Amino acid sequence: MPRWLSGHLLVASPTVEDPHFTRTVILLVDHDEDGALGIVLNRPTETTVEVAVPDLTALLGAEEVIHDGGPVQPEALLTVAEFRDPADAALLVLGRVGMVRGDEDDHPDVDRARAYAGYAGWAPGQLEAELERGDWLAVAARPDDLFRPDADRLWHLALERLGGGYALLARTPEDPSLN
């Protein structure tokens, strides 16, 4: 596993009890010695783009929902897209997938896009300590992870991708006593 995990997924360990991060999958947008910034991928809301940010309907589609990207600055909207020309991205994260510039008057030429309200952030060394403690499992991200229509299933699918005992954990109900 590389030292810096930008472009990787963080899969919350089943032991994580913080309600902001229980059973989440986070795309690490940026991770270096200054800390880390990520977006929770698997928490769609019921609020549509048309209702929340009508200016983005041309880019995202009116019926696309806004996703809960994390507890930090929930009023901030981050838009991720798969760019036809990667040079159009404000920051490339994974292949042709990157962040849409916030000051765009014209929407970039993209194949698909999704909006997230808020993000997750870590101070220098904080994420490394959480990884060492076993709070997160790191797995290579795939572009399709960001745009799944069944985003709420991503935690299970990411654990299955890790294989072995993790695949078994993926099938565990949220409250194992109900099993």
Give the confidence band of 142 by pLDDT, cuts at 50, 70, 90. Answer: very high
CATH of the domain at 132: 3.40.1740.10
Residue 1 lies in a domain: no
25-74 pLDDT, tens digit per residue, is 999 999 999 999 999 999 999 999 999 999 889 899 999 999 999 999 99
> Per-residue pLDDT for 178 more than 60?
no
Report if residue 38 sits inside a domain.
yes
**Total count of domains within the chain:** 1
- Domain of residue 90: give its range: 8-169
pLDDT of 168: 67
* pLDDT, averaged across the chain: 90
Listing DSSP states for the chain in one string gives --SS-TTEEEEE-TT---TTTTT-EEEEEEEETTEEEEEE-S-EEEEEHHHH-GGGHHHH-TTPEEEE--SEEEEEEEEEEEESSGGG-SEEEETTEEEPPTT-SSPP-EEEEEEEEEEEEE-TTHHHHHHHHTSEEEEE--GGGGG-TTGGGHHHHHHHHH-HHHHHHHTS-SSGGG-
pLDDT band, very low/low/confident/very high, at 119 (cuts 50, 70, 90): very high
Please tell me the pTM assigned to this model: 0.91
* 178: in domain: no
Decide if 179 is inside a domain.
no
121 pLDDT exceeds 70? yes
Q: Is residue 85 part of a domain?
A: yes
Domain for residue 47, yes or no? yes
In a domain? residue 137: yes
> Would residue 42 count as lying in a domain?
yes
